[in-house]
Structure 1
Amino acid sequence: MTSRLPPVRREVEVSTDPYRAFELWTKQIGRWWPMASHSVHGELGSVAFDGSRLIETAPDGTTVIWGTVTTWEPPHRLALTWHPGRDASEATYVEVWFHPAGRGRTRVTLEHTGWEVLAEPEQIRANYETGWPVVLEPFATAAQDL
Structure 2
Amino acid sequence: MTTPIPAIEGKTTVNVNRERAFELFTAHFGAWWPPQYHIGAVEVADVVLEPREGGRWFELGVDGSECDWGRVLAWEPPERVLFTWQIGGDWQFDPDPAHASEIEVRFHVDGPEQTTVEVEQRHFERLVGGEGVHGAIEHGGGGWVALLAAYSAMVAGETGQTHG
TM-score, normalisation: structure 2: 0.79
How many residues are aligned here?
145
Whether 2:28 is the aligned partner of 1:21: answer no
How do 1:7-18 residues align onto structure 2 when only pairs under 5 Å count?
7-18=7-18
- Matched with 2:162 is none
Residue in structure 2 matched with residue 101 of structure 1 by the alignment: 110
Distance 1:106 1:33, change over 3 A: same
Q: 1:11 to 1:114 in 2, by over 3 A?
A: same
- The answer (yes or no) to whether the contact 2:58–2:67 under 8 Å persists in 1 is yes
Query: How far did 1:126 drift?
Result: 1.9
Q: CA offset at residue 22 of structure 1?
A: 0.3
Distance 2:150 2:30 in 1: 11
Gaps of 5+ in 1: none
Give matches, 1:67-82, under 5 Å: 67-82=70-85
Q: Aligned-pair RMSD on alpha carbons? A: 1.8
The answer to whether the aligner puts 1:138 opposite 2:150 as a matched pair is: yes
Equivalent in 83, 94, 100 of residue 91 of structure 1? 100
Letter in 2 for 1:8: I
Say whether 1:39 aligns with 2:31.
Answer: no
How far apart in 2 are the matches of 1:10 and 1:134?
8
| 1:61 match | 64
Partners of 1:79 and 1:48 in 2: CA distance: 14
* Aligned partners of 2:101 and 2:124 also within 8 Å: yes
Give SS of 2:111's match: coil
Q: Greater shift after overlay, 73-82 or 101-110?
A: 101-110
Give 1:43 shift: 4.7
Measured in 2, the distance between the counterparts of 1:55 and 1:86 equals 10
Segments of structure 2 that go 5 or more residues without pairing to the other structure are 160-164
Residue 122 of structure 1: CA displacement?
2.1
What is the CA-CA distance between 1:44 and the residue it aligns to? 4.0
Whole-angstrom CA distance in 2 between matches of 1:22 and 1:92 = 21
Q: Which residue of 2 aligns with 1:123?
A: 132
